[in-house]
Amino acid sequence: MKTQAAVVYEPGKRIEIEELDLDKPQAGEVLIRYTYAGLCHSDIHVAHGDLEARLPMVLGHEGAGIIEEVGPGVTRVKEGDHVVCSFIPNCGTCRYCASGQQSICDMGATILEGYLPGERFPNTGPRGQYGAMCMIGTFSQWGVIHQNSVVKVDDDLPLDKAVLVGCGVPTGWGAAVNTAKVSPGQTVIVVGIGGIGINAVQGARMAGAKNIIAIDPLENKREKAMELGATHSFADTADAMETLTNLTRGQMADAAILTPGLMTSEIVAGGFNAIGKGGVVVLTGLNKLMEQNIELPGTILTLFRKTIKGSLFGDCNPTTDIPKILGLYQSGDIKLDEIITRTYTLDQVNEGYDDLLAGKNVRGVVVHSH
């Protein structure tokens, strides 16, 4: 069958919309009709070449849709199921999955190669074989993906909102709840209020943080953070230091969760200075794979017993955390409607990313048509 997809061919070039041929699902694979796809910053890292991926690649790794066909041996879902995709697949049996760390499943090794197990490329077109971002490629009307990349959700959930639970919500919420392990009464600083950071604010609020300090140079982002649970907001971490000192009687933050579009050593140092003894800096935002963006005084780290931690998919387990977070949305504890700024058609994907880079969106969502 044919599918319209948003493809990146060369770093630095605009994303192109192209018609590709899509193979039928083989063993363990499913055909999904994507209904919605979220515009996360990580796709633009691939388009800009910050994240070096195998190209050409169908972009998009936040997605929701309906299973239209299943290949032989598929047991996790059936035709007609509504699903949210996980940008990290989970095999269930590797060392990491088996010990409750699905976000570092061994199957995730090829998310930037974009092929399915066995170097299989269901998408082909004028430039040969096309990979799919995170093995899903949700900026496409249809996809053939592995069953380990989808999680069945309740039929009555609105997929136009649930789509955010494929990346942005678990990544941000989990950075606070799982990685920083925020507990009641703590003080948390969240740096960068995009689709990820706003959910770190929501996670810190749910975990019982007393003070949640949101940092973003943009006023619209700071306002949204205050609406969804931040207690203070500043344009820059340096501006927050006096308030942080006063709020904590000099003990400083328990956690700094760093979710800027591009992680720099200045941002990491700012987070490091904002936490106190026993505090943790959580790195969620990305940069080039080999960028040396942690430059810190190690002796202070030791003497103040500080911790620096990376967080992938918010250290969530997709098979249990995607349904859990959606349940919290249904009960009103996590807000999704409020964090979607604008919707786009697939043809408008470049406009969507221009808006993201201009800071207009907390999250933009592509609405697919078929």
Ligand X SMILES: NC(=O)c1ccc[n+]([C@@H]2O[C@H](COP(=O)([O-])OP(=O)(O)OC[C@H]3O[C@@H](n4cnc5c(N)ncnc54)[C@H](O)[C@@H]3O)[C@@H](O)[C@H]2O)c1
Stretch that binds Zn ion, among 163-171, 182-190, 342-350, 352-360 (CB under 5 A): 163-171
Cβ contacts of 235 within 8 Å, gap of 6 or more? 215, 216, 217, 222
Give which of Zn ion, ligand X, none residue 94 binds (C-beta under 5 to 8 Å, depending on kind).
Answer: Zn ion
Q: Which 63-92 positions form the footprint of Zn ion (CB under 5 A)?
A: 91
Min CB(280)–Zn ion separation in Å = 22
What DSSP assignment string belongs to 309-328? EE-SGGG--HHHHHHHHHHH
Give which of Zn ion, ligand X, none residue 125 binds (C-beta under 5 to 8 Å, depending on kind).
Answer: none
CB 60 within 8 A of CB 137: yes
Give which of ligand X, Zn ion, none residue 194 binds (C-beta under 5 to 8 Å, depending on kind).
Answer: ligand X
Q: Could you say which of 105, 150, 163, 280 contacts Zn ion (CB under 5 A)?
A: 105
Nearest to 240 by CA among 252, 225, 226, 227: 252
**Phi and psi (nearest 5°) for 99?**
-105, 25
Interaction pattern, residues 313-332, with ligand X; x per rule: CB under 6 A = x-------------------
From CA 201, how far away is CA 85, in angstroms rounded? 23
Min CB(363)–Zn ion separation in Å = 10
- Angle, CA 36 vertex, CA 39 and CA 110 arms, to 5°: 65
Give which of ligand X, Zn ion, none residue 217 binds (C-beta under 5 to 8 Å, depending on kind).
Answer: ligand X
DSSP secondary structure code for residue 220 in this structure? H
Q: Could you say which of 20, 25, 35, 42 contacts Zn ion (CB under 5 A)?
A: 42
Min CB(75)–ligand X separation in Å = 27
Interaction pattern, residues 192-221, with ligand X; x per rule: CB under 6 A = xxxxxx-----------------xxxx--x
Give which of Zn ion, ligand X, none residue 189 binds (C-beta under 5 to 8 Å, depending on kind).
Answer: none
- Residue 183, phi-psi category: left (phi > 0), alpha (psi -120 to 50), beta (remainder): beta
3-state helix, strand, coil in the chain (%, to 5): 35, 25, 40
CB 42 within 8 A of CB 61: yes
Residue closer to ligand X, measured from CB, 49 or 359: 359
Give which of ligand X, Zn ion, none residue 356 binds (C-beta under 5 to 8 Å, depending on kind).
Answer: ligand X
DSSP secondary structure code for residue 182 in this structure? -
Q: Could you say which of 30, 34, 45, 279 contacts ligand X (CB under 6 A)?
A: 45
CB 294 within 8 A of CB 263: no
Q: Could you say which of 86, 171, 202, 231 contacts ligand X (CB under 6 A)?
A: 171
Residue closer to ligand X, measured from CB, 122 or 203: 203
Size of the site for ligand X (CB under 6 A): 30
Residue 167 interacting with ligand X (CB under 6 A): yes
Residue 191 interacting with ligand X (CB under 6 A): yes
Residue closer to Zn ion, measured from CB, 225 or 312: 312
Interaction pattern, residues 24-43, with ligand X; x per rule: CB under 6 A = ----------------xxx-
Residue 259 interacting with ligand X (CB under 6 A): yes
Q: Could you say which of 70, 135, 157, 286 contacts ligand X (CB under 6 A)?
A: 286
Min CB(168)–ligand X separation in Å = 6
Helices 197-206 and 219-227 pack at an angle, to 10 degrees, of 20
Amino acid at 86: S
CB 148 within 8 A of CB 91: yes
Looking from the CA of 275 toward its CB, the CA atoms found within 13 Å total: 29
Pairing state of beta strands 82-85 and 2-8? unpaired
Looking from the CA of 151 toward its CB, the CA atoms found within 13 Å total: 29
CB 167 within 8 A of CB 235: no
Q: Could you say which of 131, 285, 318, 352 contacts ligand X (CB under 6 A)?
A: 285
Q: What residues make contact with Zn ion under the rule CB under 5 A?
A: 40, 42, 91, 94, 97, 105, 167
Q: What residues make contact with ligand X under the rule CB under 6 A?
A: 40-42, 45, 167, 171, 191-197, 215-218, 221, 259-261, 267, 284-286, 311-313, 356, 359
